[in-house]
Amino acid sequence: MRRDPVTVQPGRVLHVVGRVTEEVFSFLGPATHALARAGREQAIVMIDELRYRHHVASLHAAAELVMAPSVRNPIGQWRSVLQVCREAMSSGPLEAVHLHGLLPGIVGAQAARASGVTAPVFFSPHGSRTIVVLRGLGVLVLSAARPLRRSHRSAAIVNVSDEARPFERWKCADLVESPVNELFFSVPRREARHPLIVTGGRMQGVRSAELLAQLAVLLSGEDLRISFNWIGTVDAVSRMSLNAAGVGVFDVETDAEYASRLSAGWIYLAPGGTRGPPLFLVEAMAAGLPCVALDCAENREVIRDGETGYLCKTERDMIDRIATLIDDPALRLRMGESARNEAQCRFGQSQFDLKLLAAYALPT
């Protein structure tokens, strides 16, 4: 949904993040680059937590980082973030304020009201199940900024259409899907010599690893010669389970490594759902892999059943679809090309830039 541009004083776009988790970073990282390409100044309020610090290097260098120290006490932590927010909001004119996640939304809204912010305020759930399941909380999140919400200058920016449901009574909820690195679109397809099923990612849960291990055992056998690879990080217990099932586990640190590993796959398997957008499924589509995915809300957002992949309700369905694709190389090629074209149209960086700036109502 588009809004008419608003007249504001030149200033920064301020992101209030809290912890830069994988779900948040998949949107925030590209957003900082999109704003930098548009010549916009920006700052990011975030908690300086060691386990997420590796994301900092991938944020645009021109984005100012406003760090709140990591505090063990939760109440003390968010008081610290509130104080840092107020200081950042009072340090100069703002073009927009973007609140990422539930707690940053509550704290950022309080800071915006206390600081008298008049710039547009935006909120993104980033996979918060609390907001999606308890829809009334979508309104409660920015209740502290009620004077802002009475105007046209407060709205939501969601990653998947399902996240828009709690904001049905809001003035606007723009859909801006996280983009895919161009590396995935350009990686050449080099199928392994024998059938190779790939899956993984940094945001997958224990359940996905267990399902993959089960499928690997069911499809194992010298006559079938089917291999399984998990690409990306995994916890120690899941690693043991995957290894016991004969699944290769490959840690990757960069998108280039991940794209290269994907290129050898015959099929990408998404045996479970994700908290936020199924980014790794989309990256596999961008790499030209036909996909077999669990039929759940997140995967239905990106897969057109029978065209860009298969949606399966049961383990038996997954096995049948995998067998079909292994036996038909022309089908794998056709479905993989359709998946790549679909990903390019929806998840290319240029599309993300246009949609984000339109959501902010900033001129391009």
Question: pLDDT tens digits for 84-124?
Answer: 999 999 998 999 999 998 889 889 989 998 999 989 899 99
pLDDT of residue 76: 94
- Classify domain 12-177+349-360 at the CATH superfamily level: Glycogen Phosphorylase B; (3.40.50.2000)
Q: Between the CA atoms of 321, 324, 327 and 333, what dihedral angle is there, to the nearest 10 degrees?
A: -80
Is residue 178 helix, strand or coil?
coil
pLDDT of residue 266: 97
Question: pLDDT tens digits for 286-309?
Answer: 999 999 999 998 899 899 999 999
Is residue 47 helix, strand or coil?
strand
Tell me if domain 12-177+349-360 and domain 182-347 are identical in fold. Answer: yes
- CA distance linking residue 227 with residue 346, whole number of Å: 31
pLDDT of residue 58: 87
The backbone region for 165, taken as left when phi is positive above 0, alpha when psi lies in -120 to 50, beta otherwise, is: alpha
Question: pLDDT tens digits for 237-278?
Answer: 888 889 999 999 998 878 899 999 999 999 999 988 777 778
pTM score, whole prediction: 0.83
Cβ of 60: how many Cβ atoms within 10 Å? 16
Domain boundaries, the chain: 12-177+349-360, 182-347
Q: Which CATH architecture has domain 182-347?
A: 3-Layer(aba) Sandwich (3.40)
DSSP at 39: T
